């Protein structure tokens, strides 16, 4: 099989080919390393990539006769996730070269499922807002978004079929939209986050970035142990809600039009669509996220603030100063209010298989600033499952995605609806 044929295979097909011995892990790894060598120079998606180490791991897996759901699948791991055999710098110069003595749970569980950890992808500093070196693969003059910049860019450029991101505000869904890739942020707690640099213990969630819904579901099943996530079956007539929400003055028309386009495609394919007015209490969720993130980030990063303040970038220091204005009274008040708001929103979301809303304000901005997570952060504080589905292109020819939202714990239902929408979109010619 030629390299281009290997690169075109889904993660599921790669794993199947390895298990059946139709492909070796080394052959797959060589194909991806060659593609990275050919394409990464303008993108700069990788923080650490050792080709010799990757090939040695592939050879060891071939000798062992690797099996599992992720057999032989190359995986990019965001550089805020611990790896014992690779440096983990958390996106900041203050930890350059740090070697954790352990693998994060999601890394070890991927290895247990036969996955090959190819390398570490670039993160913004401490998974916050200060950009790093990665550029958008569609146009290097534009940001890939953040904080999961390297993971989204690597998948978009075909350098890896699957990568890990993390989301506290919008760090998986927004860069996925900017880079034109599929992403799945599961319900809070579905996938273990031990060994991931903590920002907000109440919000931090591992996300999976892939080229299609089936691969995202496949990986989520392997990491979570929830076998019902694998092979999502599209419903015959899904119930799709449309909730564009508030603060739309911050959105470009192309982002709103992407939601409208996907809703029209869904309806034409047989879905039942319903426009959902934003409840009176909806806009207040933004303030709840701000209160939780402000208090928890400044406490989670207490050591960096006390010991390494001068080593942090000005963007990070400014963000931490802003977050530090949240006091304990505001935080406790928000934490007391959030459970009721989550139940109210679950009552709305549970009526639908998926709710469509904005994934980002618009196309990836020019320059390196990572973009505004405005349209993601309220869903993050609600702890609901999210999918980013690439839908269209904006006026500058850059991708624009749509965010799909489900009720807490309804991950399989959301993925099944996302599969329906992905298929319907492909039948209409895909991204255009």
Q: What is the 3-state secondary structure (H, E, C) of the chain?
A: CCHHHHHHCCHHHHHHHHHCCCCCHHHHHHHHHHHHHHHCCCCCCEEECCHHHHHHHHHHHHHHCCCCCCCCCEEEEECCECCCCCCCCCCCHHHCCCCCCCCCHHHHHHHHCCCEEEEEECCCHHHCCCCCCCCCCCCCCECCCCCCHHHHHHHHCCCCCEEEEEECCCCCHHHHHHHCCEEEECCCCCCCCCCECCCCCCCCEEEEEECCHHHHHHHHHHHHCCHHHCCCCCCCCCEEEECCCCCHHHCCHHHHHHHHHHHHHHHHCCCEEEECCCCCCCCCHHHHHHHHHHHHHHHHCHHHHHHCHHHCCHHHHHHHHHHCCCCHHHHHHHHHHHHHHHHHHHHHHCCCCEEEEECCCCCCCECCCCCCCHHHHHHHHCCCCEEEEEEEECCCCCEEEEEEECCCCCHHHHHHHHHHHHHHHHHCCCCC
Q: Which of 148, 151, 171, 221 is catalytic?
A: 171
Q: Which of 147, 148, 177, 187 is catalytic?
A: 147
Residue 147: active-site member: yes
Residue 151: active-site member: no
Return the exposure string of 127-147: e unless at least 16 CB atoms fall within 10 Å of the residue's CB, then b.
bbbbbbebbbbbeeebbbbbb
- Of 159, 201, 205, give the one whose Cα is nearest residue 181: 159
Catalytic amino acids?
78, 147, 171
């Amino acid at each position: 099989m030629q390299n281009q044929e290997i690169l075109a295979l889904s993660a599921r097909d790669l794993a199947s080919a390895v298990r059946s011995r139709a492909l070796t892990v080394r052959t797959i790894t060589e194909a991806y390393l060659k593609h990275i060598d050919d394409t990464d120079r303008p993108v700069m998606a990788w923080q650490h990539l050792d080709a010799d180490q990757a090939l040695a791991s592939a050879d060891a897996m071939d000798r062992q006769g690797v099996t599992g759901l992720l057999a032989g699948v190359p995986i990019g791991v965001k550089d805020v996730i611990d790896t014992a055999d690779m440096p983990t710098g958390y996106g900041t110069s203050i930890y350059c070269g740090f070697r954790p003595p352990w693998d994060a749970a999601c890394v070890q569980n991927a290895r247990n499922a036969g996955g090959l950890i190819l390398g570490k992808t670039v993160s913004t500093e401490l998974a916050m807002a200060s950009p790093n070196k990665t550029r958008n693969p569609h146009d290097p003059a534009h940001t890939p978004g953040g904080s999961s910049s390297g993971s989204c860019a690597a998948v978009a450029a075909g350098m890896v079929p699957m990568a890990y991101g993390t989301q506290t505000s919008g760090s998986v869904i927004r860069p996925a939209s900017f880079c034109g890739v599929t992403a799945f942020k599961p319900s809070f707690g579905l996938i273990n986050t031990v060994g991931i640099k903590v920002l907000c213990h109440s919000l931090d969630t591992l996300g999976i970035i892939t080229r299609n819904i089936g691969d995202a579901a496949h990986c989520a099943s392997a990491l979570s142990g929830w076998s019902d996530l694998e092979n999502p079956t599209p419903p015959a007539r899904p119930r799709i809600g449309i909730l564009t929400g508030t603060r739309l003055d911050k959105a470009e028309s192309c982002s709103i039009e992407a939601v409208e386009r996907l809703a029209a495609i869904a309806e034409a394919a047989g879905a039942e669509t319903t426009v959902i007015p934003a409840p009176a209490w909806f806009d207040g969720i933004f303030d709840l996220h701000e209160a939780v993130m402000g208090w928890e980030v400044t406490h989670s990063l207490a050591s960096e603030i006390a010991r390494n303040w001068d080593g942090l970038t000005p963007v990070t220091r400014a963000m931490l100063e802003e977050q530090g204005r949240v006091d304990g009274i505001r935080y406790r008040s928000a934490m007391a209010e959030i459970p009721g708001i989550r139940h109210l929103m679950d009552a709305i979301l549970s009526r639908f298989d998926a709710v469509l809303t904005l994934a980002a304000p618009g196309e990836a901005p020019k320059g390196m600033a990572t973009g505004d997570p405005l349209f993601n952060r309220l869903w993050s504080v609600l702890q609901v499952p999210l999918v980013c589905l690439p839908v269209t292109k904006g006026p500058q020819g850059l991708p624009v995605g749509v965010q799909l939202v489900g009720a807490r714990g309804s991950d399989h239902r959301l993925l099944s609806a996302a599969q329906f929408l992905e298929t319907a979109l492909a039948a209409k010619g895909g991204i255009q």
